[in-house]
Amino acid sequence: MSFRKKVRKLRTETGKSFSKSSGKIMVSEYDDYASAITETLCHAFGENRGAPKSLMRITGAGERTVKNWLEGKNAPSGENLVELIRHSDEVLEAILMITGRHEILAMKMVLNVRDDLVQVVELIDGLVPPDVDDLE
């Protein structure tokens, strides 16, 4: 009995890149999807030992799969990406940045700031006694 001569080929370390055939130049700090998602996941979920388990709970993916995401070897696809976007605004913002959808990203940021301002106004209204309005 002889051993197989072919061995498993390892994946390249470069990751997948978006094609630039649309004529638009990507105006993001990332050239590939995997590195953008890796940095975003590390920032959003932390680089501690609990991050893989959190991501596993959110997506239902296996431990090795999630660790590959965090190490930048692979990136989530399909249903896993949708679940990550559902749980993290940072992942959504990274996807919008990668795809060049800056106008949607800007609108999202404007709405976030608006919501923050509404909360601040409510806090201020709660601090001001009701009889102060009568002084004007």
Query: In a 3-state reduction of DSSP, which class is residue 76?
Result: coil
Q: Are residues 79 and 115 in the same domain?
A: no
- 91 and 45 belong to one structural domain: yes
Q: How many domains does the chain fold into?
A: 2
Considering the domain architecture, whether residues 109 and 95 belong to the same structural domain is answered as: no
Identify residue 37 by its one-letter amino acid code.
I
* Residue 15 maps to a domain: no
The answer to whether the CB of 81 falls within 8 A of the CB of 66 is: no
Domain span holding position 114 = 102-130
Tens-digit pLDDT string for the chain (136 aa): 555 555 555 555 555 555 544 433 344 455 688 888 999 999 988 877 888 999 999 999 999 999 999 998 999 988 999 999 999 999 999 998 888 888 988 998 899 999 999 999 999 988 887 776 665 5
Q: Kindly state whether residues 72 and 110 are assigned to the same domain.
A: no
Q: Are residues 73 and 114 in the same domain?
A: no
In a domain, 119, yes or no: yes
Q: CB 56: neighbour CB atoms within 10 A?
A: 15
Smallest CA-to-CA distance from 40 within 27, 50, 55, 25 is with 55
